[in-house]
């Protein structure tokens, strides 16, 4: 119980320190190179994806009632409305500016869901403290990454305007369902989608780093 949580928080703190370098030093202007900003963003995005994978696995291990229990829980992710490339060939066809905006939209699309997932998780039966701790850490680091990618966008193209777009999330009623099985299915799907989208963000940032910071030479 408490010892496991203490070990988890110690591990999160160690990982957090690796990814906690400021995306841009405080001051009137950002003097960090675009390459450095991408490197820091990728360290952070990889950390977030790793946490998301652990969160999804931990939830399934805690609440699954059998090998096939969650197979019927599959439903469309709320970010499915965002047009994302299926591979490198499609990625090369997207203008760099539009690609950066896509990453910003993906990150912002999880701001509201993460907030509600944390609040509602407290009402799950026997919700592990570690599960909630990881969700809170993901929420905090997702916001940091969002701010970092917005800084990158200004260096990529000062003309980029962040209009605040994001995919609308309508999953709260499912998380608050009186039927426990429906609630578990909803959580499983949200965590699956979070893992999928954090993996996308991580891959997209690596691709953009090569295309923008290294002129496609990596």
pTM, rounded to two decimals: 0.85
Question: Which of 110, 149, 108 has its CA nearest to residue 23?
Answer: 149
Give the CATH architecture of domain 97-218.
Up-down Bundle (1.20)
pLDDT at res. 164: 73
pLDDT at res. 8: 59
Q: How does pLDDT run across 160-213, given as a tens digit for each residue? A: 877 777 899 999 999 999 999 999 999 999 999 999 999 999 999 999 999 998
pLDDT at res. 23: 53
| pLDDT > 60? residue 21 | no
Q: How confident is the model at residue 48 (pLDDT cuts 50, 70, 90)?
A: very high
| pLDDT > 90? residue 142 | yes
C-alpha 79/C-alpha 166 separation (Å) is: 8
| pLDDT > 60? residue 28 | no
Q: How confident is the model at residue 218 (pLDDT cuts 50, 70, 90)?
A: confident
pLDDT at res. 171: 96
Radius of gyration of the chain (CA): 18
C-alpha 160/C-alpha 82 separation (Å) is: 18
66: left (phi over 0), alpha (psi -120 to 50) or beta: left
Instruction: Please write down the HEC assignment for all residues of the chain.
Output: CHHHHHHHHHHHHHHHHHCCCCCCCCCCCCCCCHHHHHHHHHHHHHHHHHHHHHHHHHHHHHHCCCCCHHHHHCCCCHHHHCCCCCCHHHHHCCCHHHHHHHHHHHHHCCHHHHHHHHHHHCCCCCCCHHHHHHHHHHHHHHHHHHHHHHHHHHHHCCCCCCCCCCCCCCCHHHHCCCCHHHHHHHHHHHHHHHHHHHHHHHHHHHHHHHHHHCCCCC
Q: Which residues are annotated as a binding site for Zn(2+)?
A: 46, 202
Instruction: For the beta carbon of residue 43, count every other beta carbon within 10 angstroms.
Output: 17
Q: Which residues are annotated as a binding site?
A: 46, 202
């Amino acid at each position: 119980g408490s010892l496991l949580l203490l070990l988890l928080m110690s591990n999160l703190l160690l990982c957090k320190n690796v990814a906690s370098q400021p995306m841009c030093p405080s001051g009137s202007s950002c003097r960090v190179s675009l390459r450095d900003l991408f490197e820091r963003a990728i360290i952070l995005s990889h950390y977030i994806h790793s946490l998301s994978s652990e969160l999804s696995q931990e939830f399934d291990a805690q609440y699954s009632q059998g090998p096939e229990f969650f197979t019927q829980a599959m439903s469309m992710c709320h970010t499915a409305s965002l047009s994302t490339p299926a591979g490198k060939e499609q990625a090369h066809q997207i203008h760099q500016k539009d690609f950066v905006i896509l990453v910003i939209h993906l990150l912002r699309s999880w701001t509201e869901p993460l907030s509600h997932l944390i609040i509602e998780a407290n009402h799950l039966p026997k919700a592990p403290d570690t599960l909630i701790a990881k969700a809170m850490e993901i929420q905090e680091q997702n916001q940091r990454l969002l701010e970092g990618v917005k800084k990158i966008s200004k260096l990529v193209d000062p003309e980029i305007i962040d209009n605040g777009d994001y995919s609308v999330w309508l999953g709260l009623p499912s998380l608050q369902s009186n039927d426990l099985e429906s609630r578990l299915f909803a959580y499983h799907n949200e965590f699956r989608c979070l893992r999928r989208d954090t993996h996308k963000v991580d891959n997209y940032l690596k691709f953009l780093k090569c295309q923008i910071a290294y002129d496609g030479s990596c």
